[in-house]
Structure 1
Amino acid sequence: MTAGPHPSEDSDPGAALLRPVRPLNAFENTVERLLQTIRLGVLAPGESLPPERELATRLGVSRDTVREAIKSLAEAGYLVSRRGRYGGTFLADELPAPRTADVELRRADIDDALRLREILEVGAARMAAERTLDAAQREALRSRLIDVRGADPADYRRLDSRLHLAIAEAAGVPSLVPLVAQNRMRLNELLDCIPLLGRNIAHSDEQHEAIVAAILAGDVDTAAQTMAAHVWGSAALLHGFLD
């Protein structure tokens, strides 16, 4: 297929979607923006994406971030890269079906799980950082962090959940832990419907490390703010793939 000229931003229906992203989750929000243009039909099957340089400018991110997002979506089956004179990145002729299994997906349900997660887990990180943790509690956080950083992809969700539950336990409110656990089950059902993206896992690992470090240092604001950014990153991917 020959790639034709791209329309100007004023006439391009994707211009409103390909707008600057949140800097704290640049990769995840870039994936979300690209998925929105795909799932809303702004791009037709086989049609080419704008060049990387143009996408980077529109989204306010680096070309490396755009390249990583495109690579991840190609691995997930949404995009195809072609070389040669008429090469570029194209929307796949047939898009993968969401792996929804028996999960009933509605935007209201996704939002409910994500907003509850923000309330519970940002609060847990803040309260954990406010406390003076004993040696066992500090070691539990470090151990869970090490486990998830070295996790096999097939075991990532389980070990990720264990780390977040350890943070809830460190908050020192016993009734909080079952609430976080219940919502994590809902969240994992949703996350199991989307592909694991290597770049997102690496970013999550960085955020996990920053959250645990802030809790151990008693840095309340950083613990809460980094957990909030972590939650928003997951939200961006879920809405991008499932809405």
Structure 2
Amino acid sequence: MPNNLRIGVGWSTHFPRRGVLNQARCRRLRYAYRAPSFVTEEMVADGSELTFLKFDEGLAISELDGTNNALASNVDFFYVASHGTCATPPQYKLILHGGEWPITGADLGVNGPSVATFDTCDLVDLKHARWKAPWETAGAQLRLLLGFASAATVAENSTRRGLEFSQKIIAGDPIAQAWLQAVHHNSYQGTDLGIAIAFGDSDKDVDWVLYDMTLGDLPCPRSTGTPVIAAEVCH
């Protein structure tokens, strides 16, 4: 893989909230640090540049949503692990230590990243007819969105998906397929529906992103305009 990829990594493990319902919804994620830590260790050892690593109170919404900064726009490869929800489909929210970030395609891909992984529950709700709609405004740099179309198990064993995923892509495996395989191999039966969402200029281009694009191809921006979107899930 190229040794000049810029990566950005973050996670949240605990979520100070007021009220019993909010505390129950945002329970502590004891092992949320594991998958992104594996990714960081493997990719930095292989030559990638760690542009940022932030967690818990250090990973502020204002540093991501453009209020003070837009950290994910400064990297080629973004990986974050935390809580997530698609409770009001098709709107996804990344839930962090200090708040919630409602994310749409417009928040990603203007300058970066090329690949964004949201290791959280419910990146999308595939039962919603317009689940693609929030992502149709993605910037041209964004080529691949990885996450879960279900709850995501955050346990000592299942978080080894980060290790397998990073080892596979460093070895040259297609990124989307590596994610789906890593989730599948490290999940409990009947859980963790991993999803890979590709963005392209045409049906042929989006299939290439979904089945063939590797780290060695990054960055590889598409043309501007509304992307063709295709997805695949594991299992």
Q: Which has the higher helix share?
A: 1
Compare CA radii of gyration and give the structure with the larger one.
1
Do they superpose with TM above 0.5? no
Q: Which has the higher strand share?
A: 2
TM-score under structure 1 length normalisation: 0.28
TM-score under structure 2 length normalisation: 0.28
